[in-house]
Amino acid sequence: MAQVKIIAVTGATGAQGGGVVNILKKTPGWRVRAITRNPDSDAAKALAADGTVEVVRADWDDEDSLAAAFSGAAAVFAVTNWWEPFLFGGKTAWEAGEIEERHGMNLARAAARTPSLEHYLWSTLPGAKQRFLGKGGLEVPHMDYKAIVDARIREELPALAAKTTYLYFGYYPQNIAYVPMMKPFEHPGTGQYIQLVASDSQAKLLLAGDMAVNPGIWVRQVLATGPAAFGKYTNVALERWSVQQMLDKWSEVTGKRGVVVQITEEAWARLWGPVGTELAWQFKFVELCDPFEVGDDFISPEELGIDASEVVGFEGTIRGLASKGLLV
């Protein structure tokens, strides 16, 4: 009988890691070790409930706790969360970035210390600061600091880099249901819904699709691909849609009239504060270039053996949300 390998999944109680757990726990040949700061939380207990997933405590702030949690693992899915210190810890965008960089490097160093490790999967994003350096300048801290970790893995941990695949997650369709700034709202008494943006509503965004399944599909296929995916980037997505296209689909699904209205970055920042500014810069990045442009260092969905019929895109995701009463 083939040996069962362990994949240690960080962020397992969250969107990305949760999506990885959902698929990998049903993938023959793999056993999931879910990592959380708090195995007693309801989310962690739900992961452990059916007995197929081992739940282990570790903290991105503590490299030794991560190394212990990775012990014996053949694969690690590593993700960080720039938003937590920014939204809930009172940190500036750049301070949150420094925390994210520290977490990203703790994860990478702990993985490099794991003798059993065959494949490291790092969830990252392209950096705007790096791309626009000397070209007018643009910063998107929640993307830039992840890209710094990519470069540091290659420079400081070449043996780990040699078995790393870099995953770019697109914009989550779920944002239209859960992120207040991205929810359409009704102009009172008119039945007309409005979605505000601070950038060109026709600019195309990379969409991650359903976070409950797509992250796991990509991770399963990257692992099955093995060495051919080492050192490569992959977009965890098959769709690129504009905000207008997303709202048109939202209108079709909900039966409500929706229109996208572009406002200035200043007005957007006055409405939403620093969180709005961060998102406005992200959308500006997408307006100015294609941050997720496929280059020589990419491995394609076809090469990974991604079956498009298994992937759940924007429409499937929001139809699922609507069926649970979670869309406006």
The answer to whether residue 16 forms part of the interface with ligand NAP (CB under 6 A) is: yes
**199-218 mask for ligand NAP (x: CB under 6 A)?**
--------------------
**20-39 mask for ligand NAP (x: CB under 6 A)?**
----------------xxx-
Closest CA to 112 of 54, 156, 55: 156
The answer to whether residue 142 forms part of the interface with ligand NAP (CB under 6 A) is: yes
Task: Pick the binder of ligand NAP from 80, 106, 225, 235 (CB under 6 A).
Answer: 80
We find the least distance from the C-beta atom of residue 266 to ligand NAP, in angstroms, to be 24
Task: Pick the binder of ligand NAP from 8, 22, 56, 60 (CB under 6 A).
Answer: 60
Closest CA to 81 of 41, 23, 37, 25: 37
Quick one: 84 or 186, whose CB is closer to ligand NAP? 84
Quick one: 17 or 313, whose CB is closer to ligand NAP? 17
The answer to whether residue 234 forms part of the interface with ligand NAP (CB under 6 A) is: no
Task: Pick the binder of ligand NAP from 59, 98, 118, 287 (CB under 6 A).
Answer: 59
CA distances from 312 to 56, 64, 76, 316 (A): 29, 37, 24, 6
Q: Cα–Cα distance between 104 and 149 in angstroms, integer? A: 6
The torsion region of residue 42 among left (phi > 0), alpha (psi -120 to 50) and beta comes to: alpha
Q: Strand locations in the chain, DSSP E?
A: 5-9, 30-36, 53-57, 75-78, 119-124, 164-169, 185-187, 192-197, 204-207, 233-236, 239-242, 257-262
Calculate ∠ Cα 17-18-22, nearest 5°.
120
Q: By Cβ distance, which residue is nearest to ligand NAP? A: 14
Instruction: Summarize as ranges the residues that interact with ligand NAP (CB under 6 A).
Output: 11-17, 36-38, 41, 43-44, 59-61, 79-84, 125, 142, 169, 171-172, 175
